Amino acid sequence: MNYTTIIKIAAIILLTLFYIIYLAKMLLLKNKNIKANILGKGQKPKGEAMFETVLRTVTFLGVPVKFFSIIWDNLIWSFPAFCAMRENGLIIMSLGLASFLLAVITMRNNWRAGYSYEQDTQLVITGIYRFSRNPAFVGFDLVYLGCALAFPNILNIIFAITAIILFHVQILGEEKFLVQKFGQSYLDYKNKVRRYI
């Protein structure tokens, strides 16, 4: 087995684990009658709902795009990839996977994809949330960035940049929601803990 094949297998394993965690959390919450995927759903302003629908579409499109860009990277226009780049990309993906896993474990039944004014949630400020207000988004960002570094093809790069921008806009919307929902408690937390890292 050559070096590139090993890197591809490692990246596919990391991506597969990442998406398994995402889907498993969704299913666990669904079994508890908790709607976890509320992107673009519920009572929210039309602009927010439309934006979240776009975000949901891009996130789900990310699954086949990421796998395609790894497995058939030779079919896509790419920048040169050095060994150190590929290895650092895998390390960054691993950090993203760890951040995402810790986030969904810490959030327990409060984890959601999106936000809704109708659902009851608690403000979580323990565990990994003591170091980042958005460790799940940090996880997504690191997985996408690491994948683009390990496989620097145009598809991966454009997708990573687009997703990171969309995630940032979503975070800004969620912050407004959290201020309305939790008031001073969230503002105090916001003043102590950074948005990302």
The pLDDT, as a whole number, for residue 155 is: 92
Question: pLDDT per residue over 141-164, tens digit each?
Answer: 999 999 999 999 999 999 999 999
SS3 153: strand
What 8-state DSSP symbol labels residue 119? S
CATH number corresponding to 3-192: 1.20.120.1630
Q: Distance between CA 129 and CA 104 in Å, rounded?
A: 11
CA distance between the termini of the chain: 37
The encoded tokens of residue 108 equal 């327990």
The pLDDT, as a whole number, for residue 78 is: 92
The pLDDT, as a whole number, for residue 121 is: 84
The pLDDT, as a whole number, for residue 156 is: 93
The pLDDT, as a whole number, for residue 119 is: 74
The pLDDT, as a whole number, for residue 42 is: 74
Single out the residue of 122, 115, 104, 112 nearest to residue 176, CA to CA.
115
Low-confidence ranges of the chain (pLDDT < 50): none
The pLDDT, as a whole number, for residue 13 is: 98
The pLDDT, as a whole number, for residue 194 is: 97
Degrees to nearest 5, angle at CA 68 with 37 and 141: 50
The pLDDT, as a whole number, for residue 117 is: 74
